[in-house]
Structure 1
Amino acid sequence: MIWMYNMDALADEARLDLMNLLNALDEPWRQLSPGDLLLTVQELLDNGQGQLNKEPEDAPDVAFMLMDISDEVLDKLLDGLREKAIDLPYKAMVTANNRSYLLGDLVRHIQEEDREVRALVKLQRLMAGTTAFEEKDYSPEGWQAFQAAYKQGQEALERAKKGDMTPDEAETILKNFNLSVLSLLGHA
């Protein structure tokens, strides 16, 4: 089974392509209402439907796909999404761990993970781009500030591997590192 939330967040062409793709999979699917966000994943699996006239105050405004499908169907679905260039960044498989989540909380959790990962990927790329910097080319103050920010970036990447990072922290560390690089280049 595949559940889709907020397909209206997609462009018209992408939404039509997605519906055609879902229909071609020969896998049941249904569109979720905002009221379904108040159900747990397990309640959805048990064919539950939320109240149409009730929805959480902080309902996510993104398109989201929840899947309880075989690996074979998943491969076909992901291939179809890539082939049709359908941008659907928020997807999740049903797992033993997420069955007790309210669907709305699961969507928000995945959004937060995405924010964190994006910030850390940018940080890692930016740090890799500074490996050719040499201390002799910069002022002592600028180099010291850069080195402190670089160390903070390295520590953040290590903490993230342990799951000890929040999206806000990751974004702040990225911003600080970016500012240290700009400041350093201003002192060159």
Structure 2
Amino acid sequence: MRVIVADDAVLLREGLSRLLAEAGFEIAGTAADHDGLLTLVEAERPDVAVVDIRMPPTYTDEGLRAAREIRARHPATGVLVLSQHVRVTYALELFGHDPRGVGYLLKDRVADLEELTAAVRRVARGGSALDPEVVALLLGRRQAADGPATMTNREREVLALMAEGRSNGAIARRLGIAERTVEKHIAAVFGKLQIPAHADDHRRVLAVLAHLRR
């Protein structure tokens, strides 16, 4: 699996590249800014680009804009965006109308190599990866807007893991319950949110994000 790493901080860029290489990924190249990243993706056509959300020259949202351009020009290349802080608006903008092959993680998550590599692989396969802290904030805002939640605590846990892009099997393993139980919780969640259930995990994530965005 070929990966490009883009970050203006040389220590983080090289450190992340080394971690991913040791985890079995092939590093196809590194970039320090928006233009360099796009040029490298055009030349190498990697499976995934891991991108810092803030890069030169303005250090605001160059990484986010680069991610959108990569997805538009090279839909076969997944993009995993890293951010220092939670920015819900960035997450919602990044996922847009199609969360396939897109991920948004906090930089703190880089320290958890298992979590990071799982997110890279999920995005490379066309899945989604949304940071748990972003999901928690989204759910908290939604609950505050709606008043007392009608979902049980377990259903909220399942919804959060769904929003992260995890499969039924992954949710079952994370919560230590049977996959059939996960399916029942998902059915209950969709029923309470009035969202039609769908077998496609990408559509599930999109439905959840659309609901949270309202």
TM-score (norm 1): 0.32
| Structure ranking higher on relative contact order (CA contacts 8 Å, 6+ apart) | 1
Quick check: which one's strand share is greater? 2
